[in-house]
Amino acid sequence: MQGEQSQLSMTRRDLLRLIGLSAGGAMMYQAMSSLGVAADSPYKGTPVLQGTPRGASVLILGAGLAGMVAAYELRQAGYKVQVLEYNARPGGRNWTLRGGDTYTELGGDTQHCQFDRGLYINPGPWRIPYHHRGLLDYCKKLNVPLEPFVQVNHNAYLHNSDAFGGKPQRYRAVNADYRGYVAELLAKVTQQSKLDAQLTKDDQAQLLESLQRWGALDNHYAYVAGGRTSNRRGYDKEPGGGLSAKPIDSQPLQLHDLLTSKLWSGLADGENYEFQTTLFQAVGGMGRIGEAFGRQLQGVIHYNAKVTAIHQDDHGVAVSYEDARRPGHVQTARADWCICTIPLSILSQIPMNVSAAMTDAISAVPYAASVKIGLQFKRRFWEEDEDIYGGITATSLPINTISYPSSDFNSKGKGVLLGAYAYGLDAYQFTAMSPEERVRQAVEMGNQIHPQYKQEFENGIAVAWHRAPFTLGCFAAWSDDLRAKHYDNLCQIDGRIALAGEHASYLPAWQEGAVTSALDVIARLHQRVLARGAA
């Protein structure tokens, strides 16, 4: 989610980036929280559910993380639980594609993943912030091993096809130069006594000292080529040993060129609360989390179950469903209560007798467009040729993002990288293409940054989320106005039906939103059950 190009109009993330660069991280985070992009997880542990009436039953729709967290906890509390899941696997958007997997999107295009053994791509969530305590706790409970996810790599690239002749620039160079010039400008203002009204002389002296260190300025408070700046932005010739050991300093980019390039727009992402170190990923693919839940709930989840109608009355809930592989034969599942975690983009098309307020809320929330493309190469050239170990390259090209694997560093053989993470208008354009064309475009565009692409490329797979038949979109795209009007109505228990999922959270698009939403709803549902009994 970083380095996206300018759209036809200013996007929400463009606005956040400008806020962050002009007003600082605290103001940006406040804006992000207001827009529903970032929020601290409220997780304080799982709720204690006691006194479950004998025989009380709950039907859960969807075996994504929200549905499986709810099933896991309710079953431990003594409820009779069954789960209906559209896919033939657990996890929902918690999903990893590996060699041998097959995926058919809306419209009938089928892709056969050809990745070599041990290589994979995460079409959905791919990183876990350190403060997403609920998800981390379940990884610990389920024995899912984690490893660091590299978000910011100073040796990765920032790229604008219209700047510097289309040549990508190292993140470290852009970062050092931008900070250096800003520090120099502020130092000049301070030296010219233009801050006398704001700072004492002692404060100004401390500010100058801090700017010199922060911006790698020389003794005259200038940002110029030399050992200090090269130690930040890198050298033209690296220091070594022997007679040829002396390094050659690099030359900073010109301030005008740096500003007009807009490469600085990619610097703030790693500062955002949701992307700050340390981030994690599940060893072997994020889908390992959903798979671990699935093992715990073996026999509870009914796979390939496409829900076609949901009906409640005073006595319970009846859900009609059919085999997703062979439509036509309708079956019915019944329970006292129902927790529905089906994405709103799908749920809005399923008949369900709930209040007008909940119906309106379900229909009101759009889903964001996103496309991810995984590319397998004959060798890990990004490491061997360019010293890039993990991290992200941001580009103005429609592919938007190249992410290098945060595992198996310095290993021999092939590798898979995320060759595109497109969203917004770019995602719609990619979605309109065939899977084969999406992959071809990702290789063509990526070749402008890594000229090894075409020679080293072997195969790829592309997932356009608006064509995913079980979501029809990537995540719930709330706005402030929509939340004010519909969020509370969406989250209320309506008779015997309650909703959960990332869409019922202030952590949209994050797995933690699904986890905390599920824990919140089961606690409230349990109190409703105790109040009314199991009848």
Mean pLDDT of 300-317: 98
CATH no. for residue 120? 3.90.660.10
Residue 485 placed within a domain: yes
Residue 455 placed within a domain: yes
pLDDT value, residue 117: 96
What 3-state class would DSSP assign to 282?
strand
Tell me: pLDDT of 266 over 90: yes
Strands 279-282 and 128-129: antiparallel
pLDDT value, residue 347: 98
Residue 217 placed within a domain: yes
Nearest CA to 273 among 47, 500, 38, 62? Answer: 38
Query: Amino acid letter at 351?
Result: P
Place of tokens 């719930």: 476
Nearest CA to 57 among 318, 240, 424? Answer: 318
Residue 10 placed within a domain: no
**Domain check: are 129 and 239 in the same one?**
no
Tell me: pLDDT of 6 over 50: no
**Domain check: are 124 and 141 in the same one?**
yes
**Domain check: are 399 and 281 in the same one?**
yes
Residue 2 placed within a domain: no
pLDDT single digits (tens) 148-199: 999 999 999 999 999 999 999 999 999 999 999 999 999 999 999 998 999 9
pLDDT value, residue 39: 58
Please give the tally of structural domains in the chain: 3
**Domain check: are 79 and 177 in the same one?**
no
CB within 8 Å of 352: residues ≥ 6 apart: 309, 310, 311, 340, 359, 497
What does pLDDT average to over the chain? 92
pLDDT single digits (tens) 479-535: 999 999 999 999 999 999 999 999 999 999 999 999 999 999 999 999 999 998 644
Residue 166 placed within a domain: no
**Domain check: are 229 and 339 in the same one?**
no
**Domain check: are 147 and 50 in the same one?**
no
**Domain check: are 312 and 183 in the same one?**
no
Tell me: pLDDT of 297 over 80: yes
- How far apart, in whole angstroms, are the C-alpha atoms of residue 491 and residue 362? 10
**Domain check: are 281 and 391 in the same one?**
yes
Which percentage of the chain shows pLDDT scores above 90?
89
pLDDT value, residue 373: 98
H-assigned helices in 297-452: 344-347, 356-364, 381-384, 425-431, 435-446
Query: What phi and psi, each to the nearest 5 degrees, are found at residue 145?
Result: -70, 145
**Domain check: are 281 and 385 in the same one?**
yes
Name the token pair of 455: 């020679």
**Domain check: are 313 and 440 in the same one?**
no
pLDDT single digits (tens) 226-258: 999 999 999 999 999 999 999 999 999 999 999
**Domain check: are 81 and 205 in the same one?**
no
Tell me: pLDDT of 268 over 60: yes
Mean pLDDT of 326-340: 96
**Domain check: are 44 and 190 in the same one?**
no
Residue 24 placed within a domain: no
Please say whether the dihedral angle defined by the alpha carbons of residues 209, 210, 211 and 216, taken in this order, is positive or negative.
positive
Tell me: pLDDT of 13 over 80: no
Contact (Cβ atoms closer than 8 angstroms) between residue 255 and residue 178 = no
CATH no. for residue 340? 3.50.50.60
CATH no. for residue 203? 1.20.1440.240
What residue numbers bound the domain in which 119 lies? Answer: 97-155+277-285+368-467
